[in-house]
Amino acid sequence: MNRSLPALARIGVLAVAFAVAFAGPACADPNNVNPIPGLNGQPRGLPRLPGPAQAIFQVTGIDSPNHTQNVNVLGTDLGIMWDDGGGRMITAFGDSAGLGVPNLLAGSIWAWNSNVLFRSTTKDPANGIIFDSAVPNPLPSPKIPGIEISFIPTAGISVGGVQFMSMMSVREWGDHGKWATNFATLAASGDGGQTWAQLTNTRRANVDGHEKFQQNAFLKDAGYIYRYGTPGGRNNPGFVSRAKEADIANIEAYEYWDGGAWQPGDAKTAAPIVGDVAELSVMWNNYLGKFVMLTTDPANSVVMRTASAPEGPWGDPQVLVTGPSLPTAYAPMIFPYQTGRDLYFMLTVHTQYNVILLRTPL
């Protein structure tokens, strides 16, 4: 992925960027973006941050060494990473802006894909994460407001050689970090993430307790898959459920933490384990000897919590990136391989609509 953007595509990029610059705001916040460096009103290069976490690598976009524009990903968000069970890392991104037929129904002049995957063999991210292949738009969405405006990955994991993603069907975008979902569901791939199918038997409509698990994070521990959840949007309580690894696609087999014990089968019994959280990422950390959770708080700071058990209790949040220093950041996602006392995570910057890699000492 080291080719330059073709000349015709560059012309298209400039035309679209100028159109964005002189157009009114889009009707849906995720579409109100301009990912073109130098034309989006944002400084070039990585942000310099005052806290313990420092930006070290541009993961996606035209300014990235990955040159993701070569697969028509000029801008994107999220960056959910997991090991595929064979030593390669899969990274799932969410809504991605590219060139082509504009998504006018959603109020955007960009062509949008709801999801895109990249693969990598990077184990030491000190000098960045390099992608070597991509799977564009593996799970398409009609992108029709009021029906399904997007179909977005929120978590990924490998179990028994099969890749699983938790997907969120968004009906419509709201204001101030809120959105309405139709359902959450699993999708699976048996060929290393190249092709995917929805597991319709795992669909969980936004009712009957399953509204608590519309957005997810996965953790594998002691033979269980822990599924952390929040309602659609940000600044919500967080919950946790679990199932044996072999039962990851059996919704009836999940247990829900009620604050004191695991309760089988009924999502309504799940009690909050944390409050005021957004997109979650959870992983065991050998250096700390604890489980680590990353998210953003109501001040839009990136915060870390730790716990000795997957269900908690989770400690007080420690600020890694302050909201004022990077005010449009969201979705901190933990790098899946251990890196000693350094914790690496991806973070989306909405004003640039791309993803960067950060490192923080533990």
Per-residue pLDDT tens for 148-163?
999 999 999 999 999 9
Helix H or strand E segment including 247: none
Cβ atoms within 10 Å of 304's Cβ, excluding its own:
24
What residues in the chain have per-residue pLDDT under 50?
Answer: 2-28
Note the pLDDT tens digit of each residue in 300-331: 999 999 999 999 999 999 999 999 999 999 99
- Upper half-sphere CA count for residue 285 (Cβ side, 13 Å): 25
How long, in residues, is the chain? 362
Res 102: pLDDT: 86
Delimit the domains of the chain by residue range. Answer: 7-361
Res 80: pLDDT: 98
**How would you class 104 by CB atoms within 10 Å of its CB: exposed for 0-12, middle for 13-18, buried for 19 or more?**
exposed
Res 106: pLDDT: 72
| The residue type at 195 | T
| Distance between CA atoms of residues 119 and 154, nearest Å | 17
**How would you class 325 by CB atoms within 10 Å of its CB: exposed for 0-12, middle for 13-18, buried for 19 or more?**
middle
| Distance between CA atoms of residues 261 and 273, nearest Å | 12
Res 2: pLDDT: 44
Q: DSSP character for 104?
A: G
| Distance between CA atoms of residues 284 and 62, nearest Å | 33
* Angle ∠(186,311,201) on CA atoms, nearest 5: 20
Res 32: pLDDT: 76
Fold for the domain defined by 7-361: Tachylectin-2; Chain A (2.115.10)
